[in-house]
A and B are shown apart, each in its own frame.
Chain A
Amino acid sequence: MNFERIKEKLNILADAAKYDVSCSSSGSNRTNKNKGLGDSTGIGICHSYTEDGRCVSLLKILLTNHCIFDCAYCVTRKSNDVKRAAFKIKEVVDLTINFYRRNYIEGLFLSSGIFKSPDYTMERLVAVAKKLREEENFNGYIHLKSIPGASDELMYEAGLYADRLSVNIEIPTISGLKLLAPDKKHEDFLKPMLKVKNEIVRYQSEKKIIRSTPKYAPAGQSTQMIVGATGESDKDIMYSATHFYKNYNMKRVYYSGYVPVADDKRLPAIGTQVPMLRENRLYQTDWLLRFYGFAVNEILNDEHPNLDIEVDPKLSWALRNLNHFPVDINRADKRLLARIPGVGMKSVHKILNGRKFRKLNWEHLKKMGVALNRAKFFMLCDSPHWERRDLDADRIKGIILQTSVGKFRSSYSSQLSLFN
């Protein structure tokens, strides 16, 4: 193996793949078989974290960054003047195996620029996965990109070898897509997504009857949307995310703050700050929808099309709906407990179990890890001390902001700092 050449390719093709934020390696059920290599059951593992704080779980690379498309938001677009490279199938396989054996990674995340045609590209991706599974007896995690416009037959084959498939919708609105990626059609994204969804549904129902049904993308499929490239509202993003969760059984929707990569009038200029706080709020909302029993229109609607940047979305919802509070920690059901700001699902679990033995007071809640600085305005517990003042939403928000430190505070605080 020519390590110098590989190193050069790896630098180019890892650099180009890094804007794909998905790096999860969980949710699969592939066990080690015949004393082969690897196992992808159980929870995902982040083997390292980059200096920007993101998890490194998979070897995330493009097969090639040659591309026939010219999407304005994409670093590998045809018109961009960057170094191009392409891996051979064998090179990707060798890298994956050797990294995996040293416990650097959980597996491979393979994406690609589109060269020649969607099917030609998809075929190459499938060939890598197939070689890993069948020739190397590799049972680690494989995440393949579904190439927009790829045929149903190839998408079927891809699912037989991959644990997860994903196609990035990137632009949440159809009008935005027309503007930034004029040669791509919305339907081209949806077609492979629909095929994969239908195959997963079929696999899951057949598995119940015939245990030996070949696995099909056991870790499901995911997608990604770019945030802050086309002036879309948080409502646009979250409604479209909900649509994908509901109609395509997505395991995850990822939100990626747009990192300016082009001098293009249609896009934020190079050097514009990445909207990381907004991204964070969107993820918080995503969690509220998936685990906390919130409906999307409770958090975002025509009256409130954007999330509050200053406080988290649950607190923001609670401040708008003070009539639901205070909630009695010792009586309320799970659904209501989960709606108290500062109480996470782990605390809910502890509260529900702990209160079977005795009535809970502030001390108990504090030890369990409840964020009382927020929660105390919205709850009652077994204590004569509670918030007696008749505070309105603005006052509560003010007190919480004053008595807490937020990691993003400096990025939106308009107050001048005295010593600086």
Chain B
Amino acid sequence: MNTSKTFIYDGSFNGFLTAVFSGFEQKVNQADIQRNGQTQKGLFAETETVFTNVALAKRVWTGIQKKSNSAVKNIYFAFLSEKKGIEPLLYHYIQKLMGSNQKKSHDFSDDVILRINQLAHKVGREKHRMEAFVRFQLTKDEVYFANIEPDFDVLPLISKHFRNRYADQQWIIYDLKRKYGLYYNLEGVELISLDLKEGYGNSIHKNSAFTNEEYEYQDLWNNYFKSTNIKSRINKKLHMQHVPKRYWKYLSEKKVS
């Protein structure tokens, strides 16, 4: 029986689940699962490169699902956090889940369970923020375009929300940090990558890619934002807490004119 081993996977979620499968199959106690390209080899640990296998990934997925639905969500969300060392932690989490007959995913007195839970919450919060802070700008070819730089890889999580909501308009949400985006073409959502030199933020300079009307509406929104503020209740600290500064550059209401 192997006690510890390093697995290298391609960075995809299915790849990760395939690695988990290999770990379980070989009864590896401590699996250090690492993303290809970011590997750090241990001095003595044995290394195996895992080839993504959707069928095996699915087996792991349904196995976890049978144990707990909330665990399924927690694992996926925590995985998207891209935190360093998240994979071995998740492996440990899945081990605990599989080794218990009780509702282990709810054992908030267990350090690993609690940490994954809290991490999933953090990613959930970022997802929610993106649903709030995406600001579409209408381009001349009638696509509503937004770019974002989320802390975590939340695009896969927000796709459904925007699909349900903006079913009658074409839109793009582009993650500048991870260099890919979602494009809704009135039928379905596809993944795209664009050659963008820089993002389209809330600069006061007009860009010829967008319609004139677009800037009028941004101006109206900016005005509305100011008018709805109650000066005698000013609380900048609370404002900053809710709308952290790192999101400002894409918010038209924070445009400085």
Binding site for B on A (CB under 8 A): 1, 3, 6-7, 10-11, 14-15, 17-19, 31-32, 35-39, 41, 43, 45-56, 59-60, 95, 98-99, 101-104, 137, 257, 259-260, 274, 276, 350-351, 353-358, 360, 364, 367-368
Q: Which residue of B lies closest to A259 (CB)?
A: B232
**Interface digits, B227-246 against A, CB 8 Å rule (1 contact, 0 not)?**
11111111111110111000
B75 to chain A, nearest CB (A): 18
What is the CA–CA distance of A369 and B144 in the complex, to the nearest angstrom?
41
Interface string of B94-125 (1 = CB under 8 A from A): 00000000111011111100100000000000
Q: Looking across the interface, which residue of chain B has its beta carbon closest to that of A358?
A: B109
Chain A positions within 8 Å of B164 at CB level? 31-32, 39, 41
Min CB distance A186 to B, Å, is 28
Residue of B nearest to A15 (CB): B227
| B230 close to A354 (CB less than 8 A) | no
| B17-25, B32-40, B127-135 - the one binding chain A | B127-135
Show 26 A/B contacts (Cβ-Cβ < 8 Å), sorted by A: A6-B220, A7-B223, A11-B223, A14-B224, A17-B228, A18-B230, A32-B164, A32-B165, A32-B167, A37-B167, A45-B131, A48-B243, A48-B253, A49-B243, A52-B234, A54-B230, A56-B225, A98-B217, A99-B217, A101-B136, A104-B135, A257-B233, A259-B230, A353-B106, A354-B106, A357-B109
- Taking the closest CB of chain B, its distance from the CB of A53, in whole angstroms, is 3
Within the assembled complex, what's the spacing in Å between the Cα atoms of A358 and B104? 12
Give the CA-CA distance A395 to B108 in the complex, in Å.
33
Contact B220–A102 (Cβ < 8 Å)? no
The answer to whether B166 has its CB under 8 Å from any CB of chain A is yes
**Least distance between A329 CB and chain B CB atoms (Å):** 11
Q: Is the CB of A356 within 8 A of B107?
A: yes
Contact of B62 with A by CB under 8 A: no
Residue from B146, B221, B230 within 8 A of A99 (CB atoms): B221
- Taking CB as reference atom, which chain B residue is nearest A38? B165
* Contact status of A50 and B239, CB under 8 A, knowing A18-B229, A18-B230: yes
Residues of B within 8 A of A (CB): 102-104, 106-111, 114, 128, 131-138, 144, 146, 164-169, 216-217, 219-221, 223-225, 227-239, 241-243, 251-253
Point out the residues of chain B lying under 8 angstroms from A351, CB to CB.
108
User: Could you say which residues of chain B place their CB within 8 Å of the CB of A364?
Assistant: 108-109
Decide if A356 touches B102 in the complex (CB within 8 Å): yes
Q: Which residue of B lies closest to A11 (CB)?
A: B227
A52-B144 in contact given A10-B223, A95-B220, A102-B221 (Cβ < 8 Å) = no
> Which of B128, B165, B168, B239 is A52 in contact with, Cβ under 8 Å?
B239
Of all chain A residues, which has the CB nearest B254?
A48
* Min distance, Cβ B176 to any Cβ of chain A, angstroms: 17
Q: What residues on B are CB-neighbors of A6 within 8 Å? A: 220
Would you call B233 and A14 a contact (CB within 8 A)? no
Partner of A367, one of B114, B136, B251: B114
CA distance in complex: A274, B109 (Å): 43
The answer on a CB contact under 8 Å between B111 and A37 is no
Q: A276: which of B137, B228, B233 is its contact (CB, 8 Å)?
A: B233
Give every chain B residue within 8 A of A360 (Cβ-Cβ): 109
- Do A354 and B135 have beta carbons less than 8 Å apart? no
Is the CB–CB distance between A353 and B138 below 8 Å?
A: no
Taking the nearest CB of chain A, how far is it from the CB of B160, in angstroms?
10
CB–CB A101/B109 < 8 A: no
- Alpha-carbon separation in the docked complex, A31 to B165 (Å): 9
| CB atoms of A37 and B227 under 8 A apart | no
| Interfacial chain A residues near B229, Cβ < 8 Å | 18, 50-52
Q: Please give me the 9 A-B residue pairs with the lowest Cβ-Cβ distance, nearest first.
A: A53-B238, A354-B109, A353-B106, A350-B108, A52-B233, A354-B108, A49-B242, A14-B227, A53-B235
